[in-house]
Each structure stands twice: as structure tokens, then as C-alpha cells.
Chains A and B, each alone.
Chain A
């Protein structure tokens, strides 16, 4: 078992009322799964992804990740956990504008305190693997959307995470670029990486082995 969510509730208080963002979420994810989360806008997809990615807290329930009780961990330990095992891919790529492709890829390795020589080797491997060696010295603004997302995925993968969390990874791409990224996810999943993606696209959701539908914060 990679992760397990038990009776997760998340809410905000507004105007004296409690508004639930997530309501009684129960989810078990095995290593190597490819899960697609679907639902209309405001249904809680991204919130759920952030909770799974430990970027957002929840108000009630239990969350176990690789047998660690996330809900009892302090922030520093939680950060260590997601730093070690989780990679993030975003709809808007979220590359650091002031860094080149190569430096963007290197960033997670710096935070994981890899030595400079190791970092250089790992970045070189990743540039090779994603066939973007020629782009290594370019800044994000000099790349197309598809290329930026490729770098985004490469950055998520560079520290060899067990889990990739992708929030509408093809949302800003054209259909061809989107398909390439989804094929890449499929390939990564085949190599054993667990993937949880949020998507509006039925077609992209089909790449997953399991689809979770959310409505008003509740799994249906």
C-alpha cells in the first residue's frame, strides 16, 4: 500500500457556515497504480491532490503514506516525506522563470542535498531521456508550452519519486502536445511510477487504471 486516506474531511468557515471542501474521503492507492480524478469545477479535485501531496492540511480523518501517519507528523517531517517520494506536475508548468532548463531540473536535487557532481550527472541523464539536451541553456520563456511541460515532468521525476501528482497536466497544451505528455505518463507508469492525475478530459482519464469521481467534495 502506497497511501491510504480514511474519512478525510476538510472545510472552511464562511459567514458562520461550514463549507466542506472534502467530505468523508476514503481512498487506498497501491504502488504502480495510475489513477484519474475527475469532477466538475469546485468538486475538490485539486484540494484532494494537494492533501495527498501533503501541500494542504485537512481537518479530520487519517492519512497514511508508506506506513507513516501523515496526520500526526510535524510539518518538517511531512516536507521530508513528500520531498523524498512525491513529484508534482502542474497545468501551468510552474517552472522557475529565472532558471534555465538545466537549473530547473537541478533544483529538487539541491534541496535534497545531492553533491554537485551527482546533480550534474542526474540532470544530464534526464535531459538525455527527455531528448531536451539542446534546450538545457534556454529559459522557460524561450520554450513552447509542450516543451515546458516536458521539463516540468522531467523535474518531477528527477529525484526518482514513487508517486507523481499531476494537476491537469495537459490543460494548457494543444491536443498533440497533450497526447505526448499522457503517453509519457503511461510509459512512466509502466516503469512502476504511481501516478495520480486530476483531469477534466475523459480521454486523458482513460489512461488511468482507475477513475475517481468527485462531486461537492465527496467521492461518488
Chain B
């Protein structure tokens, strides 16, 4: 074997081996294929690092969003009392825990250094279910002690290493001091629930309303259970129901609502992420396998081509005593060497693409280095090495000795055309999908969202001194670059929480709305949302808690309440807001993004500017956004200037300003990333296909040089020859292109199911992509065959 490896290395540098071409095309295919496949495998590795991960389940609550529908919505958060209730009352549950996320915050140390951190409240049972190795401290004791927390090793190192005993505070809760009691090893990135700071759950009321004993509502707790060995979620159903009957009076509720109200299910923690990205997994895996397949077909095609020219060496080895297995070992060694170098090349390419890949995947590439990703990839590569060496090895060892010593020419190899046609299928598939994805992305990015994002900037008042809000607003209004300043709780691209609109008699909940909570008189004008019916909040008649509703909501109100004279001026009751008067109706706009729209009707409630200010002064943890509409043509440095003004209200000068336009664009980063992945895949597949085509036509023109010469001598023109040869190729290419189109149509259709707004799959698009591939095939074949056809036919015949 060592001798074969030595020979394989020497062959790398020999002319006619196409080693460089084979390595480049294989490396490109492997780099892209491995990157996509590792991402797919990464999705399946989520939360597998927890010991006994197979026995850990996340508790979901299932409920009807719309009582008129049978569809149950599943939500991965539950009320505070559910986890301890399950542990206490459901046999088969070994341990249960709950976490309550406070969100991403800026954390301050005593020396006023700030650090970004994800903060959660957790109960003392956390490490019974989701254990993480501790660097220092006892997690149970820490999570039982009020105003005590533990931090990740990464955060501890950022702060200064030995942080136990130090005091930290959170920007939004500046007066709440937390003592660090321990350090846990930083969580891997492949987890569904991440945190940098864990605060004891007994401290809840210091930060938010304490719903830890709540059996219904305030469903914001991430509850996890660990089942006893051998127990399945279905085994728990009767005991869970009994718990609901006992604590939630669920039978009465079901009778009242005439159907299912609330159920709990247990989802395997390892499968949650993969289930969430199921469609993406199918698409990524399809593209990865297509690229890998095309690269491998091309590698085999080129390798077989070189083996034909090496037929004599097969015979020489045989006359030296080589057996079939020796020759197969020889090809296997060559494959290992070429694959080894290609894999190194692929890793280099991945390393070069690291920033793009990390930005696209949203996690570090280092996190892919876990056994759940690496092991299947290694198995796949070993399998590929065997497959790609087996067929060439079999071919090489079967070349008859007697003919090999003469001028061995391969017969018309249909297999070569089959391999080539696979590449045409792949090239057509990925090109067509790329075009569709690009069109869809551009359409979504540029589509009218129903509000204006350009020139709109906003910043949260989280951590802002309430007494300074008026100053900030005045300073902003004084800026010549700024047209309008206003206030509002949310922006459409960030989505909205929900509340229910009740029937006029208050007995039924009619429908759920996307609730944007309070806005001031300027908010709608900043957002460019115009009221169609009634009037907006600039009216002198507007009073606090008046509501504006979207057209869809107005239609539903008319339908449900039998209102024939419109909705303006009518009284409605909305949960959390109570009774309110409808002041106007605005056109529906896109809530969240076009790729993931919230299709519920939307509502805004009125709150005058001075009331916003009062609210913030009374309750400093309240937050809303200060919105700014820039003058058209405002300069580039505007965000910096706005930040400076905002910082007048922030004691630590840590204001964060966002551009609504940038946030809107960011909402489509997943589609943009997919488009970019497609683009890279397309370039690789086209490159590989062109290489394969060049190799094939080169071998074919060598094999058929006698035929070409005879045709020329008999008067065939270059056009006649090209027509005959290119027709042969197109005969194979056309069905392959059709297959590629079918694959592309299915994949694009599946992908587009994610979007409410879809670019039409026009037939012209498919025809255009097919023509591009068929013309590319014809062009490359024409170039290569022209060269051979223009040779002196007498020379070609003499060589025969």
C-alpha cells in the first residue's frame, strides 16, 4: 500500500493526469457540500450535549387561538406552576425545571464596565434536568438564594476571571444588585435555550411580575422535564390531565368553551430545533447532495478518462504479477491521495468563507466540531472514497492485457454520457432554483410593506432617565435633519404580541389581534400609515386608549357584530385594554416580514406624549421607542448624531439607535443567505460541469479523431461536424435538463410554501434556464470539437 501511495503522489505531477483539475473541482464540491451538510447535521445536534438528552422533553402548551377552528396552536412556554406541578403530581417524571427569560441585556459591573448578556431566571432544579459543568459554586444553593446569580465562564473571563462574590446589575434594573455566586461552563451554541446569566427564580418579583405559582396565563416559562428510564410521554397523559383537573379546573373551562382549551405535550429536546427548520433541512440537504453528487460524478468521469490513457500501465502491472485486487488498491491509493488533498483544499475554502458562513448560519463554525456533525461526515467521506475508487478501480483492473498493449481506445462509453447527464441535471436544478430564490428575495426586499421604513430611526428608552425624555425629544426636534419625532411601543418589523377582541356582550372572544399597544399622535405619520376611515390620533378629539384598527380587523368586526354602518366611533372591548372607542381604520400592513408575516389584524392605542413621559417617570422599567423621521436627503452621519442626542437621557451614554430600513432588510437575511448559498453552489456546479464537459469532449475528440478525419476527407464542413457531434451531446442534455427543471420546480415550490407572498413561477423562467444550460453545453462542445476538426486529417489517420 505504501508503494501505491508513493506512486499516487508522483502521479499528481504528471501531465495528462488532470490531477489539479480533479482536485479543484472535488475540493469546491466537498467544501460546499460539507458546509451545507454539516449545518444540517448541526440542526440535529441541538441539545444533545445534555446527559441523558434522550429522556429530556420540553413542555409545550397546545391551545386554540381561534375557537371556531379545530387547529391547536403549540407554544413552547407554559405558566410558572406547571413544571413544579408536573414533578409533584405526575409519576414518571424524574425531575422538572423552569426558566424565565428576561431577554438580552446590558450588564454592568461595579466599575461601570458593560457586557452584553442573555439573562434568565431559573429554579434550583435546573441542573437536575439540564446540567452544565460548573467551574465554581453550587448551582442548587445559588439558584435558591435571593438576588444571587451565576454567570457563564465566557462572561466571567470578560469581566475579569474570578468574579465570584462580585456584584452586577442589569441596565434596565439599575437599582437591583445581583451577587455572583458561581460560574458555569459556557453553553454550546447548539442549544434551544441560551443564557449567560442565571438569576435565582426566587428573585423574580425584583424584575417582573411573579407568576411562578400561576397555573394559567403568564405562559412565559420554558419548562423541561426528565422522564424516568423507560417512560414515554404518552404514559404521562392521565396524570397530567388529573393535574389540570385539580389545579386548572379544566373540565369547567372545556364545558364553557365547548371544546379543548388547553393541553400539554412533551417534545423531545433533541428534535425541537430540527422540527422547527424541517423545510430548510430538506432544501439544504438536497442542494448539498446535488453539489456533492455532481462533483463526484465529475471526478469519476475525469478519472476514467485518465485511466483510458493509462491502460498500458494496467497491463504492465499485470505482467509484473499484479492481481485485480492490487490494481484496485492502486486506484484506491490514488483516490485517497486526491481526496486527502481535496479535503484539505475544501477545509481551506471553508476557512476562507468562514466570515460569510458564520454570518449566514448565525453561529461559529467551531460549534460544528461536535461528534454529531463530524462522525456522520467522516463516514460519508469514507463512503465516497470507496465509491469513487471502486468503479475506476474495477474498470482499470478489467482492461484486457493484450489490447492494452496495442492502442487501447475505449468503446463508445454510454456510462460517460450518463455521468455527464447527472451533471446537467445538477446544473439545471441549481441554476433554476437560484433564479427563483433571487427573484423571490428581490421581490420581498423591495415589496411595499404598507409603511415607510426609509429614513425612520428609533431607539428604546430602556435604561433612559424618564425625566430626560422631554429634553431628548426637544433636542431631536431641534435638529434640522429631522422631520418628525414620535413615540410608540413597537415597530411592525419586530412583530407584536396578541390580545383578543371580545364580542359586544363581552361573553365571546371574536378574534386575536397583533397589538402594537400605545403610540402618540406622530407615530403613524412617521411610519407613513394613513387612516382610510375616521381620523388618526392627531385629531383634537383623540383621547387616551382610543384605538385604530386595520382594515382586516374592521371587516371582522362588521361580520361578527353585524355592523352595517362601519366601525368608526363604535365601542369595542380588547383584553388588557378594556373598553375603547374606534377612532379610525388604516390599511393592512406587513407585520414582521413578508417571509414570516403575522396575518392577524393589527391595532394601535393612543397615548399622548406627556403620558408616555409620566409613565416612564413613574415606572422606570417601562420602555417604549422614540421614533424619528429624517428629512429627505439627510446625511450619512445622522445615526451618530441621533445617538448623541439619545445619550442625553442615558446616564452611561449607552443608547442604541436602529434604522428601520436596515432592520427590515435584516428580516430577509435568511432569504439573502439562502440566495448567496445558491449562488456559490451554482458557481461550483457550473464550474464542475464545465470541467466535466471539457474532459468529456476532449476524450471524445481523441477517441473519434479517426472518424473526424474521415468525415473531413469526405467533404464534411466544420458546421456538419459540429452539428453531428453537438447533436449527440444535446440528445443527452435535453432530458437531463428537463429532469433538473422538475427537481427545481419541486424544491422551489416547497421553499415558497414558507411565504405568503410568492413570485410567480412563470414558464419563461424555466425555458430561460434550460436554454442557458443547453447553449453552454453547445458552446463548450463547439470550442473543443472545432480544435480537433481543424487538425490536418492526414495526421490524424497517420496516428491510427
Contact = CB atoms under 8 A, between A and B. Distances in A.
B7 A111 contact: no
A99 interface: yes
B68 interface: no
B316 A50 contact: no
Interface in A141-164: 155, 159
Contacts of B318: 55, 79
Contact of B317 (A56, A107, A159): A107
B11 A94 contact: no
Nearest to B403: A56
The 3 closest A-B pairs by CB, nearest first: A111-B321, A83-B321, A55-B401
Counting contact residues on chain B (CB < 8 A from A), the size range is 20 to 34
A97 B401 CA distance: 18
Interface of B: 3, 7, 10-11, 14, 312-313, 315-323, 326, 400-402, 405
B321 A108 contact: yes
Contacts of A172: none
A98 B7 contact: yes
A56 B316 contact: no
A47 B402 contact: yes
A46 to B, nearest CB: 8
26 contacts: A46-B402, A47-B402, A55-B315, A55-B318, A55-B402, A56-B401, A76-B323, A79-B318, A79-B321, A82-B321, A90-B405, A94-B316, A94-B319, A96-B316, A97-B14, A97-B313, A98-B11, A98-B14, A99-B7, A106-B3, A107-B317, A108-B321, A110-B3, A111-B322, A111-B326, A112-B321
A88 interface: yes
Interface centre among A55, A95, A98, by most chain B C-beta atoms within 10 angstroms, is A98
Interface string A97-134: 11100010011101110000000000000000000000
Given A88-B319, A111-B323, 4 more contacts: A47-B402, A79-B321, A94-B405, A103-B3
Contacts of A79: 318, 321, 323
A90 B401 CA distance: 13
A46 B402 CA distance: 9
A29 to B, nearest CB: 19
A76 B326 CA distance: 12
B320 A108 contact: yes
A107 B11 CA distance: 16
Contacts of A96: 7, 313, 316-317
Interface in A12-45: none
Nearest to B325: A76
Contacts of A83: 321
A76 B7 CA distance: 25
Nearest to A86: B319
Interface in A169-194: none
Contacts of B313: 96-97
B745 to A, nearest CB: 48
A47 to B, nearest CB: 7
Nearest to B326: A111
B402 A56 contact: yes
B11 A50 contact: no
Given A96-B316, A98-B11, A99-B7, A50 B321 contact: no
B323 A94 contact: no
Contact of A98 (B10, B321, B326, B401): B10
Nearest to A97: B14
Contacts of B321: 79, 82-83, 108, 111-112, 159
